[in-house]
Structure 1
Amino acid sequence: MIIAFSIAAGLAALVFLGAGLMKVARPKPALKQNGMGWVEDFSAPTVKLIGLAEALGGLGLILPVLTGIVPVLSPIAGIALAVIMIGAIVVHVRRKEPVVPPLVLAVLAIAATILGFIVIS
């Protein structure tokens, strides 16, 4: 199970860390220009906060298990990321945008969460 968790959590961490850092580093107009129309619905600090939450959640998926320091935080980070993605799904549905990317990420975060709870028990 540790291999399955490592794959799911590592993949999710990579995606969330990359997406989060992009939202933190780029200005709101650049994000909109790159196809993230949903940023129109949020202020610039809120977009940065979402990015920070995604980046920290990505790190939280893998670092606790890798370091052995409070490994229960890994599945908790997975739960938090799934909640963020459920919010993203709601935003995309309201804007009549494709919901597949946040749906896939939500499923990946949930899979990492379940596997994380199995691994740490």
Structure 2
Amino acid sequence: MTAIYCDDYPNVFHWKAVSEFTLEQAALLLAGIDPFDFEQGLESAKITNHPRWKLVYGYALAIETAIRRGILTPVVCNTYFYDEYNSNWIVQKIEPSDRSHNISCEHTVITRNSLNQ
């Protein structure tokens, strides 16, 4: 694998027509990283030690905070948790203000317009 430098920004023009993103995709794009290059999301950017992985996590937390505070309205807000009784992972819709569950970066959807507000 070739080294990725902090000043290396990919061409993300193919995302221009997309109007809805997962929280994870939005954070990657805001950090100048093409989500198609890191299909495992935030974690894969960290594992590969991408020079902007901390920026990605910062954007993800900022978006999550904006959702929790009602500044950014998600299309759908989901949590993702392990159901020990049935031994499987579950995606469940939650209210953005519900702090008893974590917001799933992979399963919560926001719009491009909401990011521009």
TM-score, normalised relative to structure 1: 0.28
Question: Which structure has more strand as a fraction of its residues?
Answer: 2
TM-score, normalised relative to structure 2: 0.28
